[in-house]
Amino acid sequence: MNFGLIDRFHTTGVIQGTVANLKTENPIEGAQIAIVGNGRTYEVESMRFGAFAIELPVDFSSGLLDYLVKVTVDGYQDYASTITAANGQYRIANILMKPIH
């Protein structure tokens, strides 16, 4: 009998990108990024140069999973969009935030 083990704990993809001002394209440090999917909410904060990255689980059978990305930061309109995480891949989510004034 031959069999193999499948590692369910490493079925993940990475969402990475930057958060910046829509008008000036200057990076925004400290933006709160909530990524909702898989019955959970994952949170990360943009760091230096507005950069962020987060590893997320994906569906075991398809290797994909859709997530809702919500971004909030003082002085800007809230942002929301969807993105699909794919097993073993990096997906880019560069986010431009619209200033309130």
pLDDT of residue 69: 97
Query: Is 57 within the bounds of a domain?
Result: yes
Domain span including residue 64: 10-97
pLDDT of residue 4: 42
Query: Is 79 within the bounds of a domain?
Result: yes
pLDDT tens digits, 35-93: 999 899 999 999 999 999 999 999 888 889 999 999 999 999 999 999 999 999 999 99
What is the domain count for the chain? 1
Contacts of 11 (CB under 8 A, 6+ apart): 57, 58, 59, 60, 63, 87
**3-state class of 81 per DSSP?**
strand
CATH code assigned at 43: 2.60.40.10
Query: Is 1 within the bounds of a domain?
Result: no
Query: Is 59 within the bounds of a domain?
Result: yes
pLDDT beyond 90 at 101: no
